[in-house]
Amino acid sequence: MIALPPALSGHRIVPVLVIDDAGFAVDAAAALAAGGIGCVEITLRTPAALAAITAIADAGTSLVGVGTVVTPDDLNRAADAGALFVITPGVDREVIDLARERGLDILPGVATATDVLAVLRSGLRAVKLFPADILGGVDLIAALAGPFPDVAFVPSGGVSPANVASYLAHPNVPAVSGSWMAGRQLLASRDVATIERLSREAVALAGAG
Ligand code: 3PG
């Protein structure tokens, strides 16, 4: 049975936001939600990230999580800010254990079969595949699903309207993640109409997958 962590269960698309203006965070989440995407990952790549997480958590309308978690301290700060799930670029057992202690679901990033083994040893069964397209895309997932038939892979990095349906068509891919519907420029220009349109199109493509 291929399952996402409970917090993300049912979500097919996890938008990845690099946000520079926390004051736009709630409007961005609302535009994604208007397009049919009810969750959002805020990456810890900008000074505004923690305030953005808190703003969306306080608004209470979208599920908000944190990405680009590299250290235990990152995880603690994001959890204190209100993040409800955690996504990392790689496998760090200390970060995984801390997420568990704090009651947060986590998707660790993997790039190899060895990484998947490390995640399985920690007791998890769902991973982010990063950077998915550079590593080999759907073909790599098909290869990894051989030895790991029960692992859920969430590809991230290079996912786009051109390949989202083919990723989601794979039985080991319950969800994808990507920035294309709410990229940094769209956020900077507060272009809610385009974010909503691209989200709606993404949801339609996901359904087609
Ligand atoms: C990232 O690293 O920002 C995520 O994997 C999303 O990548 P993308 O911008 O290629 O969608």
CA of 176 to the centre of ligand 1 (A): 11
For 76-91, the pLDDT digits (tens) are 999 999 999 999 999 9
For 169-205, the pLDDT digits (tens) are 999 999 999 999 999 999 999 999 999 999 999 999 9
Structural domains in the chain? Answer: 10-208 (3.20.20.70)
For 112-150, the pLDDT digits (tens) are 999 999 999 999 999 999 999 999 999 999 999 999 999
3-state helix/strand/coil string of the chain: CCCCCHHHCCCCEEEEECCCCHHHHHHHHHHHHHCCCCEEEEECCCCCHHHHHHHHHHHCCCEEEEECCCCHHHHHHHHHHCCCEEECCCCCHHHHHHHHHCCCEEECEECCHHHHHHHHHCCCCEEEECCHHHHCHHHHHHHHCCCCCCCEEEEECCCCCCCHHHHHHCCCCCCEEECCCCCHHHHHCCCHHHHHHHHHHHHHHHHHC
- pLDDT for residue 1 is more than 90: no
Q: Respond yes or no on whether ipTM tops 0.90.
A: yes
- pLDDT for residue 209 is more than 60: no
CA of 73 to the centre of ligand 1 (A): 22
Mutate to test the pocket of ligand 1, among 177, 181, 187 (most ligand atoms within 8 A of CB): 177
- Is 128 labeled as catalytic in the residue annotation? yes
- pTM of the entire structure? 0.97
Average pLDDT over residues 65-84: 98
pLDDT of 208: 61
